[in-house]
Amino acid sequence: MAALPTTEWRDKKWTRAEALKHAPVAGDWKKTGAIEHVFTHFALTLDVYSAQTAPPNDGWWGDASALPTVFKKAAKAGGGE
């Protein structure tokens, strides 16, 4: 399944420093929003961080319309459509 880079999902909120240790590339990461998504058996809140960087390697760089709903919401919060 296509997805955006993310941390492990856990019950305890990640601090900014903890979350940014999982950033896929170095960059000037800024919090650009937060989203809430409800699955059948749990609710999830994601803080969304964005940075202007070049892709670090080969990969899929498609548009957000191919993403699952939770990641579509995150892409929109991060300034992508």
Q: What DSSP string describes 35-68?
A: EEEE-SS-EEEEEEEE------SS-----GGGS-
Residue 12 counted as domain residue: no
Residue 46 counted as domain residue: yes
Count up the domains in the chain and report the number: 1
Residue 78 counted as domain residue: yes
pLDDT tens, position by position, 46-72: 999 999 887 767 666 667 788 999 999
Domain residues for 75? 30-51+63-81
In percent, the amount of the chain with pLDDT more than 70 equals: 89
Euclidean distance between CA atoms 58 and 45, whole angstroms: 29
Taking Cα atoms as reference points, which of 27, 36, 16 lies closest to residue 76? 36
Q: Are 81 and 13 in contact (CB under 8 A)?
A: no
Euclidean distance between CA atoms 30 and 50, whole angstroms: 6
Residue 42 counted as domain residue: yes
